[in-house]
Chains A and B, each alone.
Chain A
Amino acid sequence: MSYQSELYQQVILDHNKNPRNFHEITGFSHSCDGYNPLCGDKIRVHMRINEAGTIEDAAFTGSGCAISKASASMMTVHLKGKTVDAARVIFDEFHKMVMGEMEPQAGLHNLGKLTIFHGVREFPSRIKCATLAWHTLICAIDKTGETTME
């Protein structure tokens, strides 16, 4: 067998080992704690969003599996500099992709490198690992304080 499966691609392993934006943000404007009771994964997302609604900075802390950590890492990289409205659109696309409800066709989505998570759709028990950071992000934007995956 090959461990270079669709799920554990090199990019994901790299972001797991060397997560980007893995810190708190002093003077953050938005924050939320996400929790997956099924596996115990915990994540905190910090953002600085300016008055124009642009995400100037995004970062995360917490513990979790490679999928959840890499997803959080790549999410923060992808969203920096984008608007809150764009983030919501990307969340929706990401969610549909990992749920197997949307095939990301070239040029027809805003996911960029996040399509690396396409393989998650084959692993139903791991979908929540990939989406925990994203649910936490939306929670931070909505300023609801904490979110729990159901």
Chain B
Amino acid sequence: MMSPAEIEKIRADFPMLSARINGKPLIYLDNAATTQKPLAVIERIRDFESGQYATVRRGSYRIGEEATEMFEDARGKVAAFIGARDRREIIFTSGATQSINLVAQSFGKKFIGPGDEIIISNMEHHSNIVPWQTLCLEKGCALKVVPITDSGELVMEEFEKLLGPRTKLVAVTHSSNVLGTINPVKEITRKAHAVGAMVLIDGAQGVPHKKMDVMDIDCDFLAFSGHKMYGPSGVGVLYGKYDILDAMPPYVTGGDMINTVTMERTTFAKPPARFEAGTPPISQVIGLGAAVDYLSGAGMEKIFEYETSLLEYGTRALSKIDGLRIIGAAPRKAAIISFWLDAVHPHDVVTLLDQDNIAARGGHHCAQPLMQRFNVPATTRVSLSFYNRPEELDMLAESLRKIIKVFG
């Protein structure tokens, strides 16, 4: 278990955590939205941009070749981080949203047709709902939804009933950005494969907090974002099994994703270049590589273990507050606590928490079907990171008590 001294050492790596906002320290509890950046990432980008910057995969001059090497090196780091077989299975995108859209528009357009079925779940982020709805409208396929229990778990028996010969793709989140529920993605993948369906895992919330091994899960696609894993915004990843990627048509077309272009016809490059048209987010990819190094250095097992202890601590602290109902009580949870206060609307809660410099999120969290499922218009959400301290959760509880009193 990470000791308080180790946590303080980690905190010192993140300049934002010692920033004073209105003269007071920041209590940052919105890590599911985006995470703060360690110096290692900030400095890597600064060093690259101030001493090594050039475009990649084009220039045959020295700095261009070196930049390309660093860029591809970051691809290798990401591949190793999630246990991919081959670095060519890593496609850089602008974020998890674009990664999912890429699969919908490329794989979906070619391999999914009228009468086919796509299975998602009731706990998906809009980014793992809307691309499939759009595809189904275009292609005449049907979208099936796995229901969830009152504690926030997938009803696996219902999932099995939905699976069938028409199922072409199962797209589910590794962990819910609202409930925190960690889904049994390995079991889901095995069952989907048994009927010949492909599996996409939305790893936006999972990858930053838990060791991910795509070969063990055996999923066909994994989508995630850089900025939620202590890296820069504007970069994300789509992992895909190479043979599947190789069978997929381009998604966005243009420069850098071709073999030859004449005015009549174009032949396309192999993956990953086929899916990386245009100049990529070079500095961001290099920054993401540094973030991966940082996380590997801290150790994903240790991170998950510590965050789980924080989750338990926070759950205990909030459970003691009268009129507070936690939404999401799955036995396997990421360090996210969503709750509803009888007396105060989430938007008022977060505005008032902000007066104590506590950054939390109020709203539907881009998961409106989930809000409908639990019959709430919105929730207040705190999402934790390994740089949070238990004392910050005590201060959260104290601040919530004050807010309830004001509204009482």
Contact = CB atoms under 8 A, between A and B. Distances in A.
B355 A40 contact: no
B352 A8 contact: yes
A17 interface: yes
Contacts of B407: 13, 16-17, 66
B327 to A, nearest CB: 14
Nearest to B355: A1
B348 interface: yes
Interface in A21-79: 38-42, 63-67
A43 B37 CA distance: 40
Interface string B366-377: 001001000001
A38 B348 contact: no
Contacts of A39: 347, 362-364, 377-378
A8 B406 contact: yes
A126 interface: yes
B406 A38 contact: no
A3 B363 contact: no
Contact of A5 (B345, B355, B363): B355
B136 to A, nearest CB: 22
A47 B347 CA distance: 28
Given A40-B363, A64-B345, A3 B378 contact: no
Size class of A's contact patch?
20 to 34
A66 B403 contact: no
Contacts of B345: 64-66
Contact of A41 (B344, B377, B406): B377
B368 A40 contact: yes
Contacts of A38: 363
A58 to B, nearest CB: 23
Contacts of B403: 3
A133 interface: no
Nearest to B403: A3
A79 to B, nearest CB: 24
A129 interface: yes
A13 B364 CA distance: 23
A5 B91 CA distance: 48
B73 interface: no
B377 to A, nearest CB: 4
A64 B403 CA distance: 17
Contacts of B346: 65
A126 B352 CA distance: 12
Nearest to A42: B377
Contacts of A66: 344-345, 348, 407
B352 A129 contact: no
Q: Which 5 A-B pairs have the closest CB atoms?
A: A65-B345, A65-B347, A40-B377, A3-B406, A66-B348
Interface of B: 344-348, 351-352, 355-356, 362-364, 368, 371, 377-378, 402-403, 406-407
Interface of A: 1, 3, 5, 7-8, 13, 16-17, 38-42, 63-67, 123, 125-126, 129
